């Protein structure tokens, strides 16, 4: 996509939560100017941080839709039906509607929007705030390949952006959306282990966070399988293999697999609920 096209796009957000903020931060690091973004929310509680970025805010969802080409629906899943019912009269064939609501299916979006509307379902994650997100999107029945290319171009500064079938979206929610919290839990536990052994808490948390950053970058940039990198850290009879043995005894691998499974099933359950409304 032509970067100049991105700079001319008008972007709207319905909802001012963490996902909207993360995507906005990523978009602003590209070619989109703050003057071309508008955010709406029913209260002013979360709008101040957008204003600090030079972005216009409003309490009117209709105002955002009427002044936008790409509209991100970034409200809680149970609010998607009333919000889309409210703004549907203002959605035209020029709009690309992108939902980041967990569990809300493309079928539900297309049912709530005018006929032939372009809908895309996107699942980002919180690290979009620092341009290190993992985002997966699926196109609706009326969204063309160029609509997907436009979204990919718009979001490329947010982190890794991939397209796939809708069936993968709920899995991505469990893996990467919820997975961020799983990683934070592990980071907290790492630091607490060091505190137990006598390291000051502030230093332990700083080292734990850097350990995760470094390990993640090495995993991403080396292209190696995690098991290969893990084996490279282990030396026969060394400290790491003893620690890994303890983790395996605690069932960390099975618990993590089950956590992703549980989060995925919950996302699917939310989808079934949204399709019944």
Could you tell me the CATH number of the domain that includes residue 51?
3.40.50.720
Contact 106, 92 (CB under 8 A): no
Q: Which of 164, 190, 210 is the last residue of a domain?
A: 164
Kindly state whether residues 196 and 156 are assigned to the same domain.
no
Coil, strand or helix at 238: coil
Q: Is 165 annotated among the ligand-binding residues? A: no
Q: What is the pLDDT of residue 207?
A: 98
Convert the pLDDT of each residue in 121-180 to its tens digit. Answer: 999 998 988 889 999 999 999 999 999 999 999 999 999 999 999 999 999 999 999 999
Burial class of residue 214, CB neighbours in 10 A (0-12, 13-18, 19+): exposed
Q: Is 17 annotated among the ligand-binding residues? A: yes
CATH code of the domain covering residue 238: 1.10.3730.10
Q: Which of 164, 187, 203 is the last residue of a domain?
A: 164
Kindly state whether residues 198 and 156 are assigned to the same domain.
no
Q: What is the pLDDT of residue 7?
A: 65
Q: Is 46 annotated among the ligand-binding residues? A: no
Q: Is 3 annotated among the ligand-binding residues? A: no
How many domains does the chain contain in total?
A: 2
Q: Is 75 annotated among the ligand-binding residues? A: yes
- Which strand ranges, in their side-by-side order, compose the sheet holding 133-139? 56-58, 37-40, 11-14, 70-73, 96-99, 118-123, 133-139, 159-163
Kindly state whether residues 160 and 26 are assigned to the same domain.
yes
Convert the pLDDT of each residue in 49-81 to its tens digit. Answer: 999 999 999 999 999 999 999 999 999 988 999
Mean pLDDT taken over the chain: 93
Structure tokens at 17: 């939560």
Kindly state whether residues 253 and 126 are assigned to the same domain.
no
Q: What is the largest CA-CA distance in the chain?
A: 68
Kindly state whether residues 155 and 198 are assigned to the same domain.
no
Q: What is the pLDDT of residue 274?
A: 65
Kindly state whether residues 29 and 156 are assigned to the same domain.
yes
Kindly state whether residues 45 and 65 are assigned to the same domain.
yes
Does residue 56 fall inside a structural domain?
Answer: yes
Confidence of residue 31 (pLDDT cuts 50, 70, 90): confident
Q: Is 62 annotated among the ligand-binding residues? A: no
Kindly state whether residues 47 and 114 are assigned to the same domain.
yes
DSSP 226: H
Percentage of the chain exceeding pLDDT 90: 83
Element containing residue 243 per DSSP (H, E): helix 239-249
Kindly state whether residues 114 and 227 are assigned to the same domain.
no
Domain range for 143 is: 11-164
Kindly state whether residues 142 and 223 are assigned to the same domain.
no
Following DSSP, what letter does each residue of 146-197 receive, concatenated? HHHHHHHHHHGGGEEEEE--THHHHHHIIIIITHHHHHHHHHHHHHHHHHHT
Does residue 232 fall inside a structural domain?
Answer: yes
Kindly state whether residues 16 and 112 are assigned to the same domain.
yes
Judged by average pLDDT, the poorest of 47-61, 138-152, 214-228, 258-272 is 258-272
Q: Is 149 annotated among the ligand-binding residues? A: no
Chain-centroid distance, C-alpha 181:
12
Q: Which of 136, 164, 192 is the last residue of a domain?
A: 164
- pTM for this one? 0.88
Distance CA 188, CA 196 (A): 12
Does residue 277 fall inside a structural domain?
Answer: no
Does residue 6 fall inside a structural domain?
Answer: no
Quick count: other Cβ atoms within 10 Å of Cβ 93? 9
Q: Is 14 annotated among the ligand-binding residues? A: yes
Q: Is 15 annotated among the ligand-binding residues? A: yes
Q: Is 61 annotated among the ligand-binding residues? A: yes
Kindly state whether residues 38 and 145 are assigned to the same domain.
yes
């Amino acid at each position: 996509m032509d970067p100049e096209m991105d700079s001319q796009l008008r972007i709207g957000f319905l909802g001012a939560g963490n996902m909207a903020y993360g995507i906005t931060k990523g978009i602003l690091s590209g070619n989109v100017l703050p003057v071309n973004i508008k955010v709406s929310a029913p209260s002013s509680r979360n709008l101040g941080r957008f204003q600090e970025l030079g972005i216009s805010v409003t309490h009117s969802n209709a105002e955002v839709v009427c002044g936008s080409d790409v509209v991100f629906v970034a409200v809680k899943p149970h609010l998607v039906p009333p919000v889309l019912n409210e703004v549907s009269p203002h959605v035209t064939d020029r709009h690309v509607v992108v939902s980041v609501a967990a569990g809300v299916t493309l079928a539900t979006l297309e049912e709530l929007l005018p006929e032939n509307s372009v809908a895309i379902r996107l699942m980002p994650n919180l690290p979009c705030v620092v341009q290190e997100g993992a985002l997966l999107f699926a196109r609706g029945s009326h969204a063309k390949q160029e609509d997907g290319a436009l979204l990919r171009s718009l979001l490329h500064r947010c982190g890794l952006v991939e397209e796939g079938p809708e069936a993968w979206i709920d899995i991505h929610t469990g893996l990467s959306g919820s997975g961020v919290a799983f990683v934070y839990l592990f980071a907290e536990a790492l630091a607490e282990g060091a505190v137990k052994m006598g390291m000051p808490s502030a230093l332990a948390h700083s080292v734990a966070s850097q350990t995760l950053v470094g390990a993640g970058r090495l995993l991403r940039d080396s292209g190696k399988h995690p098991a290969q990198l893990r084996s490279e850290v282990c030396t026969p009879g060394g400290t790491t293999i003893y620690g890994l043995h303890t983790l395996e005894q605690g069932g960390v691998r099975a618990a993590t697999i089950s956590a992703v499974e549980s989060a995925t099933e919950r996302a699917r359950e939310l989808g079934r609920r949204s399709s019944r409304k």
